Amino acid sequence: MSAVQPRRALVLLSGGQDSATCLAWALTRYAEVETLGFDYGQRHRVELDCRERLCTGLQAMAWPGRLGPDHLLTVDVLAQLGGSAMTDEVTIAMQADGLPNTFVPGRNLLFFTLAAALAYRRGLDVLVGGMSETDYSGYPDCRDSTLKALQVALSLGVDRPLTLETPLMWRSKADTWALAQRLGGDALVELIRCESHTCYLGQRGDLHAWGHGCGGCPACELRAQGWEQWTAQRSLNGA
């Protein structure tokens, strides 16, 4: 494991599996880590409750004193723009352009812009997000090239060198579970399994092997698939 860096990081924490893993990743690397969440009128607010439980759980783990304040910003404008299954009561479906209607155009661009503004105020230099191009829905604002371009634009825009880190960019969902295991052992895997939220329908329901959720929406399916692949790899390796 690499040495702890004196830099200070801001992690975009939604309350999902990916951002929770990114938070643990940042806690292993940076001396100080703050978290940022967005209330953007998402249909289901269960994610926001998960954020708190994840922060409390991670506080108690192996990185004492590194986890600083949590910030929550209200961003009503995305719901005003409308038209997405994440903010409107519409059925999840594929659009004519080949993207699912769970795509919220501009969301990550806006979130990172606000994160850069907060980082400027708080004196933080690294922005960490859970975007991935590997098992993803094709959202263009999750692409590595989009975020590389954004890093340049934001650094110029606040006249400060900001680094955008996306540790999951080239990791599958199975790799993301493996990363959590490496970072915090079974305790971290269990925290993320039980307390993070992925389901597009906002259902907690029963605790499945892979965590809570409806089990049928694209997000639950991806999470369940990743869990199965990871546990299969683990048993092959005799872990």
Residues that bind Zn ion (CB under 5 A): 199, 201, 213-214, 217, 220
Q: Which is nearer to Zn ion, 48 or 214 (CB)?
A: 214
Do 126 and 22 touch, CB atoms closer than 8 A?
no
Minimum distance from residue 223 beta carbon to Zn ion (Å): 8
State the DSSP code for 94. Answer: B
Smallest gap from Cβ 218 to Zn ion, in A, equals 8
| Least distance in angstroms from the C-beta of 215 to Zn ion | 6
Min separation Cβ 221 and Zn ion, Å = 8
Nearer to Zn ion, 153 or 201 (CB): 201
C-alpha dihedral, 139 to 101 to 115 to 38, nearest 10°: -150
Nearer to Zn ion, 118 or 201 (CB): 201
**CB-wise, 104 or 217, nearer to Zn ion?**
217
| Distance between CA atoms of residues 190 and 238, nearest Å | 19
From the CB of 124, what's the least distance to Zn ion, in Å?
33
CB of 202 to Zn ion, least distance (A): 8
Alpha helical stretches, state H, the chain: 17-29, 46-59, 77-81, 107-122, 144-158, 173-195, 218-236
Cβ(119)–Cβ(130) below 8 Å: no
CA-CA distance, 120 to 162, in Å (whole number)? 9
Smaller CB distance to Zn ion: residue 155 or 203? 203
Kindly list the distances between the CA atom of residue 238 and the CA atoms of 185, 190, 209, in Å, as whole numbers in the listed order.
Answer: 16, 19, 19
* Contact present, 9 and 36 (Cβ < 8 Å): no
Nearer to Zn ion, 126 or 220 (CB): 220
Q: Between 46 and 214, whose beta carbon lies closer to Zn ion?
A: 214
Q: β-strand 207-208 against 211-212: which pairing, if any?
A: antiparallel
CA 193 to chain centroid:
14
Distance CA 227, CA 197 (A): 14
**Cβ of residue 203: shortest distance to Zn ion, in angstroms?**
6
